Amino acid sequence: MNMTKVLVATDKPFAKVAVDGIRKIIENAGFELVLLEKYTSQSDFKNAVTDVDAVIIRSDIADKEVIESGKNLKIIVRAGAGYDNIDLAACTDKGVVAMNTPGQNSNAVAELAFGMMLMAARNSFDGSSGTELRGKKIGIHAYGNVGKYVAEIAKGFGMDIYAYDPFVSNEAIEKDGIKPLNSVEELYSTCQYISLHIPANEKTKKSINFELLSKMPKNACLVNTARKEVINEEGLLKIFAERTDFKYVSDIEPACKAELAEKFAGRYFFTPKKMGAQTSEANVNAGLAAASQIVDFIKNGNKTYQVNK
């Protein structure tokens, strides 16, 4: 019988310590690790999948073509939270189990949200007089794994903390000492800072629009460590034009970056690459969880974190 092959396909590589840990788990299980890092084209990814049983990815695009090229493919694990980069229907059609590793990189993302908030509050550290976070209202848009870490850190900063999440009960939010609000409109009209933690799906794409952003109080700052796709960029450009007090900080630049750069310099910050989860701790947590989930699925059939049906 051929040895089980596990491909780690990461255009944005894990820290070495994480790759070493993944290798140990895979090899201890008697499997073989295949590494494809910083690949230059989607066809490199597609070719690498051809003869493997399992794949670990990050934000890599696991589209229909990739999934279908995996002749022996049984499982694909997104080492991270958002799985909008996987064609779930293609996985289901081919009988491939798709999983994520929820919670494993959440603290890293929450810390980046605060790093960017401080940048906005301190005018990108340009030497001018900025503002403080203490006492300011922060609205956590979706109270999941990252949202909870954001709340915890916000307490340390002495912020006034609100959250809106239609999938989490008010009681659960209150239990953490956070004020729940009952609509997205209420969250945006209450909070000077909004930290976005919604997934990108058919319901949420382009949902953060001009109407919502225009409700934000004076000196509004939108912090996006979620996905650029949830922003309605026409609305974003409009709010920048109408509200000179509006700032936007985001983990990964929007498509309209050139226009923002031309007209609204100094009021935004974008990471050059999505790097919320780019810490060795998050790489280790998510990478090792992905490797263990693969071993547990192949050896014992455990499908706990399956995201496709």
Pair of tokens at residue 15: 């820290």
Residue of 62, 81, 138, 212 that binds ligand 3PG (CB under 6 A): 81
Choose the stretch contacting ligand 3PG; rule: CB under 6 A; options: 15-23, 46-54, 78-86, 204-212. Answer: 78-86
CA 267 to chain centroid, in Å, comes to 23
CB of 2 to ligand 3PG, least distance (A): 29
CA 218 to chain centroid, in Å, comes to 27
CB of 272 to ligand 3PG, least distance (A): 13
Which residues in 257-296 contact ligand 3PG (CB under 6 A)?
A: 274, 276-278
Distance CA 128, CA 138 (A): 23
CB of 78 to ligand 3PG, least distance (A): 7
According to the binding rule CB under 6 A, does residue 82 interact with ligand 3PG?
yes
125 DSSP 8-state letter: G
According to the binding rule CB under 6 A, does residue 59 interact with ligand 3PG?
yes
CB of 151 to ligand 3PG, least distance (A): 18
Distance CA 106, CA 204 (A): 20
Residue with smaller CB distance to ligand 3PG, 42 or 170 = 42
Residue with smaller CB distance to ligand 3PG, 104 or 232 = 104
Closest CA to 78 of 55, 105, 44, 106: 55
Residue with smaller CB distance to ligand 3PG, 139 or 287 = 287
Residue with smaller CB distance to ligand 3PG, 190 or 293 = 293
Residue of 7, 36, 49, 58 that binds ligand 3PG (CB under 6 A): 58
Residue with smaller CB distance to ligand 3PG, 136 or 197 = 197
Cβ pair 160, 112 in contact under 8 A:
no
Distance CA 14, CA 280 (A): 7
CB of 59 to ligand 3PG, least distance (A): 3
Count of residues touching ligand 3PG (by CB under 6 A):
11
User: What residue has token string 């994480």?
Assistant: 18
CB of 298 to ligand 3PG, least distance (A): 22
Distance CA 67, CA 45 (A): 10
Which residues in 102-131 contact ligand 3PG (CB under 6 A)?
A: 105
Pair of tokens at residue 270: 């974008």
DSSP string, 204-255: TTT-B-HHHHTTS-SS-EEEE-S-GGGB-HHHHHHHHHH-TT-EEEESS--T
CB of 204 to ligand 3PG, least distance (A): 14
Residue of 80, 139, 147, 287 that binds ligand 3PG (CB under 6 A): 80
CB of 132 to ligand 3PG, least distance (A): 28
Distance CA 145, CA 152 (A): 11
Q: What is the CA radius of gyration of the chain?
A: 21
Distance CA 227, CA 230 (A): 6
Which residues in 132-161 contact ligand 3PG (CB under 6 A)?
A: none
Residue with smaller CB distance to ligand 3PG, 81 or 117 = 81
Distance CA 23, CA 250 (A): 33
According to the binding rule CB under 6 A, does residue 228 interact with ligand 3PG?
no
Cβ pair 222, 248 in contact under 8 A:
yes
Q: Which residues bind ligand 3PG (CB under 6 A)?
A: 12, 58-59, 80-82, 105, 274, 276-278
